[in-house]
Chains A and B, each alone.
Chain A
Amino acid sequence: MSGIAAPEASPGPRLEVSPGPHIARAGLTTRRMMLDVLIALAPVTAVSIYLFRWHAILQIAIGVLGCSLFELLFARMRGRPSPLGDLSAAVTGLILALSLPWSAPWYVGLVGSLVAVGIGKVVFGGLGQNIFNPAMVGRAFVMVCFPAALGAAAYQMAGDGAAIVTQATPLTAAKQLGQSAPLWPLLVGTVNGSLGETSALGCLLGGIYLCLRRTAAWRIPLGIIAAAALLGGIQNLAAPAAGWTVLHHLAGGALLFGAFFIATDPVTSPLTPRGMWIYGIGIGAMVMFLRAYSGYPEGVVAAVLLLNGATPLIDRFTIPRPVGGPVPARR
């Protein structure tokens, strides 16, 4: 692609010939976007380590190292250079780990990583090609394979962490026992749950950072939250005695974690503004539907995977109208 302008007689700088534009936004790379996600996950990661101590550290290490290892392995098998530099495997691993309960056995994280990277990403052709969020594919797989290790009971196992880790998760308590939870612990995160989901404020903090960096598209979390708030409000009006308010719906469970860190995965979410609204509102509504009517207390994994699957269709039906209208038939 490069040509030499100056003949040998007049030595000068070596000039290259290349298509434009010749300048690019400084410091904007795929790696930087992935790093943004890791930075944004720092608050919830910190809360999880505070709550679950070395259990959290162990799960995160298994997830991140597992995903990176399998990514490297599959790249070798395909004869590709190491893709670890783009940090996407680290992001998948961290999100997967943060979606597990502290008590999950070590092999759960490892099998989850294998499936997340292998089935979730590599079989589709690697980064950018997958239809479903890799971390959620891994999470769904282990949920089916190890129901005992990941069911409601797993969250309540006695351990050597802080006392709260033996309580039922707020959503389980609400669903099975009809118990409401005080709001403040839900916001701060001093409740039981999957590693990363407990602190609503941590999710908000990281999520707002992601949106400000424009690494996450703000329309998606806003759509999810708006849909969940609306449906939660209706539910609340229908059964005010339950004491489970809109804020409980938003702050409890994985809604915010999913809204900001999982649903916003650009690869598996729509490209167009209108598509993002449809996708976000769809996830929010699906989560609320699953929470209300399914056998599980939570529905973020299923809702995200479902709307991931709908994304190619959403994209196809929301192609923006060009300024000035479509290209005329004869041109």
Chain B
Amino acid sequence: MSRRLSLFAGRPPFPGGIHPPTRKSLAEEAAIEVLPLPKQVRIPVLQHAGAPCIPSVKPRQAVVLGEKIGESEGFIGTSMHASVSGVVTRSETAVLPNGRHVRLIPISTAGEQPEGRDLFDLLLGGDWPKEGLDRHDPAEIARACRDAGIVGMGGAAFPTHVKLARNEGRPVDTLVVNGCECEPYLTSDARLMVEAPAPIVAGGLLAARAAGAGRIVIAVEDNKPGAITALRSAAAGTGIEVVATETRYPMGGERQLAPAVLGRTVPTGGIPLDIGVVVINVATAAALARAVLRGGPMTHRLVTVTGRGVVRPGNLLCPVGTPYRDLLDACGGLAEDAARVVSGGPMMGFTVGDLDTPVTKGTSGLTVLSREEVARIRETACVRCGRCVDVCPLSLTPTKMAQAARFRNWEVARRYQLLACCECGCCGYECPAGIPLVQLIRTGKAVMPRS
């Protein structure tokens, strides 16, 4: 329907894209639940893009919820906080889903601390102002973000204060709050928009104030009418535009969203700031509001636990550092035919082999795929069918890029703009020959000499 409409409206906002079965119905009706306090959390010192945090606590030291336990050096970095009250134990090392080996600060839970409904109210409940936010100093807002450890919760976990810091040379005119949640299966942003739209609106106003953006747009895919309604009523009178976008993966990518809602294209190799835009995720906006208005750091996040491989899918509010196992147990455990536990959604997420892997600030969901849901095509030769070219939202030629990367032919890789790929996975989803296009391209991007 919307696809047909866009035919009349001229060129679609971005080329290609796919319409995979969203399977949002597995968890989209499940109200946010607060996870019972885990016995132990293990907080990675690097959960974000940039410099790792340097821990400031010692083993056997008692910490309380929200206490700062480490901070990065340098501008692109952030701080980390105790996500439960308890006692620090000896640090460990683990492999995060993205493959990084990272030091963890374990905290054994102990003592009185907010739980259940109280915790929800502390983080997201109650009243959130939407007027008078202009009295906050822009630089103060950015500083509060860094102090509260606010990083992007959409997945990439880029430190938010870096995006919001004003830069004379590159003025910002528009703030886009991203509620697209285009990844199939995931519903945590959708639940947050329905159940707690007020902190999102407050966070959007504060972020725009910090960045100096005069226009604020909250973008939501049109398959989430409940979220759109809730946000529209929460944002009434603030001047924030709540825009329903077409539902098409990867609408939530910055490079797709900017053209879709603003008609502006982010240059290859650049960031939205280059076109005067800052994009933050809805959950980040809510966390930012709490950091500025209530002085609370980013200690918890909402995680969707979904897929046919889990018994009772749901949306859980849990401390950063919670082991995946606790989340899965709270959802009835793994089903008999569970095949892959994916950190994130099925398109861009990473499988994990260790269920003790901790939730980070960027963990948007755990998608447990059953044998039947998992893609299973034996790799055969490319027949140049061109479907990868048709679905690429950046107008690239994935099969050529992947072949060039496979054979380390960097001249061809450059000719086909290997580094422009955003790894959204549309090509891999579509490939009838089962070629691991994204994997080959990702490897190529990492290995290709840069000069």
User: Residues of A with Cβ closer than 8 Å to B?
Assistant: 3-6, 12-13, 15-25, 28-30, 32-33, 86, 88, 126-129, 214-215, 217, 266-267, 269, 271-273, 319-328, 331
B377 at the interface (CB under 8 A from A): yes
For B410-437 the 0/1 string (1 means CB < 8 A from A) is: 0000111111100001001111111010
Assess whether A22 is in contact with B380, with CB atoms less than 8 Å apart.
no
Assess whether B417 is in contact with A33, with CB atoms less than 8 Å apart.
no
B-side interface mostly: loop
Which residues, 437 to 451 on B, are CB-close (under 8 Å) to A? Answer: 438-439, 442, 450
Assess whether B394 is in contact with A266, with CB atoms less than 8 Å apart.
no
Assess whether A29 is in contact with B419, with CB atoms less than 8 Å apart.
no
Assess whether A28 is in contact with B430, with CB atoms less than 8 Å apart.
yes
- Minimum CB–CB distance for B443 against chain A, Å: 9
- Minimum CB–CB distance for B437 against chain A, Å: 9
Which residues, 398 to 420 on B, are CB-close (under 8 Å) to A? Answer: 399-400, 414-420
Assess whether A16 is in contact with B393, with CB atoms less than 8 Å apart.
no
Contacts A23-B429, A331-B419 known; A324 to B184 CB distance under 8 Å?
Answer: no
- Minimum CB–CB distance for B307 against chain A, Å: 10
The residues of A that contact B340 with a CB separation of less than 8 Å are 15-18, 22
Nearest residue, chain A, Cβ from B450: A331
Cβ 8 A contact of A21, one of B346, B353, B380, B416: B346
For the complex, give the distance between the alpha carbons of A309 and B215 in Å: 54
Assess whether B381 is in contact with A324, with CB atoms less than 8 Å apart.
no
Assess whether B432 is in contact with A21, with CB atoms less than 8 Å apart.
no
- Minimum CB–CB distance for B410 against chain A, Å: 13
For the complex, give the distance between the alpha carbons of A256 and B18 in Å: 31
Cβ 8 A contact of A327, one of B15, B269, B353: B269
For the complex, give the distance between the alpha carbons of A170 and B442 in Å: 55
For the complex, give the distance between the alpha carbons of A214 and B450 in Å: 37
The residues of B that contact A319 with a CB separation of less than 8 Å are 397, 415-416
A–B pairs, 9, beta carbons within 8 Å? A17-B340, A18-B351, A19-B439, A20-B349, A20-B351, A22-B347, A23-B369, A272-B397, A324-B420
Assess whether B389 is in contact with A127, with CB atoms less than 8 Å apart.
no
B352 at the interface (CB under 8 A from A): yes
- Minimum CB–CB distance for B420 against chain A, Å: 5
Assess whether B417 is in contact with A127, with CB atoms less than 8 Å apart.
no
The residues of B that contact A21 with a CB separation of less than 8 Å are 346-348, 375, 425, 428-429, 438
Assess whether A129 is in contact with B381, with CB atoms less than 8 Å apart.
yes
Most buried by A among B381, B415, B433: B381
For the complex, give the distance between the alpha carbons of A323 and B11 in Å: 13
For the complex, give the distance between the alpha carbons of A200 and B417 in Å: 42
Extra contacts, 15 of them, besides A28-B430, A267-B384, A323-B14 (Cβ < 8 A), are A5-B353, A13-B339, A15-B341, A17-B351, A18-B340, A20-B425, A20-B428, A21-B347, A24-B430, A266-B383, A319-B415, A320-B389, A322-B268, A323-B393, A324-B255
Assess whether B355 is in contact with A24, with CB atoms less than 8 Å apart.
no
For the complex, give the distance between the alpha carbons of A13 and B374 in Å: 14
B342 at the interface (CB under 8 A from A): yes
Assess whether A15 is in contact with B385, with CB atoms less than 8 Å apart.
no
Contact residue range for chain B? Answer: 35 or more
The residues of A that contact B293 with a CB separation of less than 8 Å are none
The residues of B that contact A331 with a CB separation of less than 8 Å are 269, 419, 450
B354 at the interface (CB under 8 A from A): yes
The residues of A that contact B390 with a CB separation of less than 8 Å are 214
- Minimum CB–CB distance for B284 against chain A, Å: 23
- Minimum CB–CB distance for B416 against chain A, Å: 6
B80 at the interface (CB under 8 A from A): no
- 4 closest A-B pairs by beta carbon, nearest first, are A24-B375, A21-B425, A128-B381, A3-B353
- Minimum CB–CB distance for A111 against chain B, Å: 26
Which residues, 336 to 368 on B, are CB-close (under 8 Å) to A? Answer: 336-342, 346-355, 367
Assess whether B349 is in contact with A16, with CB atoms less than 8 Å apart.
no
For the complex, give the distance between the alpha carbons of A122 and B420 in Å: 35
For the complex, give the distance between the alpha carbons of A273 and B390 in Å: 8
A-B CB pair tally, cutoff 8 Å: 191
The residues of A that contact B389 with a CB separation of less than 8 Å are 271-273, 320
Assess whether B381 is in contact with A126, with CB atoms less than 8 Å apart.
yes
The residues of A that contact B373 with a CB separation of less than 8 Å are 22-23
For the complex, give the distance between the alpha carbons of A32 and B430 in Å: 13
For the complex, give the distance between the alpha carbons of A18 and B438 in Å: 12
- Minimum CB–CB distance for A163 against chain B, Å: 42
The residues of B that contact A126 with a CB separation of less than 8 Å are 381
For the complex, give the distance between the alpha carbons of A193 and B354 in Å: 66
For the complex, give the distance between the alpha carbons of A13 and B341 in Å: 11
Assess whether A30 is in contact with B429, with CB atoms less than 8 Å apart.
no
Assess whether A320 is in contact with B395, with CB atoms less than 8 Å apart.
yes
Assess whether A22 is in contact with B369, with CB atoms less than 8 Å apart.
yes
- Minimum CB–CB distance for B421 against chain A, Å: 9
- Minimum CB–CB distance for B117 against chain A, Å: 32
Nearest residue, chain B, Cβ from A328: B269
Assess whether B385 is in contact with A266, with CB atoms less than 8 Å apart.
yes
Cβ 8 A contact of A271, one of B351, B377, B384, B429: B384
The residues of A that contact B20 with a CB separation of less than 8 Å are 23, 25
Assess whether B396 is in contact with A322, with CB atoms less than 8 Å apart.
yes
B295 at the interface (CB under 8 A from A): no
For the complex, give the distance between the alpha carbons of A125 and B390 in Å: 26
Cβ 8 A contact of A6, one of B355, B369, B416: B355
The residues of B that contact A4 with a CB separation of less than 8 Å are 353
Assess whether B374 is in contact with A323, with CB atoms less than 8 Å apart.
no
Cβ 8 A contact of A325, one of B267, B339, B399: B267
For the complex, give the distance between the alpha carbons of A100 and B200 in Å: 69
- Minimum CB–CB distance for B159 against chain A, Å: 21
Most buried by B among A19, A269, A321, A323: A323
For the complex, give the distance between the alpha carbons of A24 and B437 in Å: 12
Contacts A15-B341, A320-B397 known; A22 to B417 CB distance under 8 Å?
Answer: no
The residues of B that contact A17 with a CB separation of less than 8 Å are 340, 351-353
- Minimum CB–CB distance for B34 against chain A, Å: 25
Nearest residue, chain B, Cβ from A27: B432
Assess whether A127 is in contact with B381, with CB atoms less than 8 Å apart.
yes
For the complex, give the distance between the alpha carbons of A17 and B377 in Å: 16
Assess whether A15 is in contact with B338, with CB atoms less than 8 Å apart.
yes
Cβ 8 A contact of B433, one of A6, A30, A214, A325: A30
For the complex, give the distance between the alpha carbons of A273 and B269 in Å: 24
Assess whether B335 is in contact with A13, with CB atoms less than 8 Å apart.
yes
